Amino acid sequence: MDQRVIDIILDSFSKILLPGLTMTIPLTVISFCLAMVIATAVAMVQFANVRILKQICRFYIWVIRGTPLLVQLYVMFFGLPSVGVVLDPFPCAVIVFAINEGAYCAETMRSALESVPAGQIEAGYCVGLSYWQIMRRIVLPQALRTAFPPLSNSLIAMTKDTSLAANITVLEMFMATQRIVARTYEPLVLYIEVGLIYLLFCTVLTKLQSIGEKRLNRYQRQG
């Protein structure tokens, strides 16, 4: 490693990190929040066992989990313009990531909802609570505690998957790195560098997951 390579690494660090903070993180946070809204709604429909809506939800999960994320990005960004629907890269990436992650998180939420003992639901009816009150006050709080670890893992995975947004011209960390590589012809060190920055982001999320789990366990013991 000569001085030129060291200078490239030092110079490129901020140029890679800045898109990570201004594009990768916002893309991850916004997409995951929308995914959680989708996942919760889909899981509750399945939990309520509304026949027609349940079949629609199962079809949605089947299609999204059975097709690659990259294909979904290409269909949305490059395919929809042929039928008159044109989306900017960032909103397109948000929509696709939210829909994709929502399907996976919906199954996590569904299993968490089904893990709540049926006796607690019956007890809620006995004290005069409505179905929605039971869901909001009894079932969902317990289900979210159960689902927290796998949902945190999904968030970490999504942080890494945002690199695929470079394929539809979203200027996030990976695309910024590709541009620097095209200019400097140093792919090895630069791709290792961006990998280490992704590792840094995921390490922070892992630490936050650990803190969150400890607090949830403490609240559960107090409860």
- The one-letter amino acid at 23: M
Q: What is the pLDDT of residue 222?
A: 64
Contact in structure between 19 and 173 (CB atoms under 8 Å): yes
Q: What is the pLDDT of residue 220?
A: 66
- The single residue listed with the structure tokens 């803190």 is 211
User: 198-208: b or e for each residue (b if 16 or more CB lie within 10 Å)?
Assistant: beebeeebeee
Q: What percent of the chain has pLDDT over 90?
A: 77
* Tens-digit pLDDT profile for residues 25-68: 999 999 999 999 999 999 999 998 888 999 999 999 999 999 99
Confidence of residue 223 (pLDDT cuts 50, 70, 90): low
Q: What percent of the chain has pLDDT over 70?
A: 98
Q: Give the Cα separation of 164 and 74 in Å (integer).
A: 10
Helices then strands, each counted (H, E), the chain:
10, 0
Q: What is the pLDDT of residue 53?
A: 94
Q: What is the pLDDT of residue 136?
A: 86
> Mean pLDDT across the stretch 160-169?
95
Evaluate if residue 168 carries a pLDDT over 80.
yes
Domain boundaries, the chain: 3-222
Q: Give the Cα separation of 111 and 18 in Å (integer).
A: 38
User: 48-83: b or e for each residue (b if 16 or more CB lie within 10 Å)?
Assistant: eeeeeeeeebeebbeebeeeebeebbeebbeeeeee
Q: What is the pLDDT of residue 215?
A: 84
Among positive and negative, which fits the CA dihedral 168, 153, 113, 115?
Answer: positive
CATH topology of domain 3-222: MetI-like fold (1.10.3720)
Q: What is the pLDDT of residue 141?
A: 85
* Tens-digit pLDDT profile for residues 180-221: 999 999 999 999 999 999 999 999 999 999 998 888 877 766
Q: How far is CA 154 from CA 2, 15, 86, 142, in A?
A: 39, 27, 29, 19
Read off the tokens for 164.
Answer: 């695929």
Q: What is the pLDDT of residue 137?
A: 86
Q: How far is CA 103 from CA 62, 110, 121, 219, in A?
A: 8, 11, 26, 29
Mean pLDDT score of the chain: 92
Evaluate if residue 128 carries a pLDDT over 90.
no
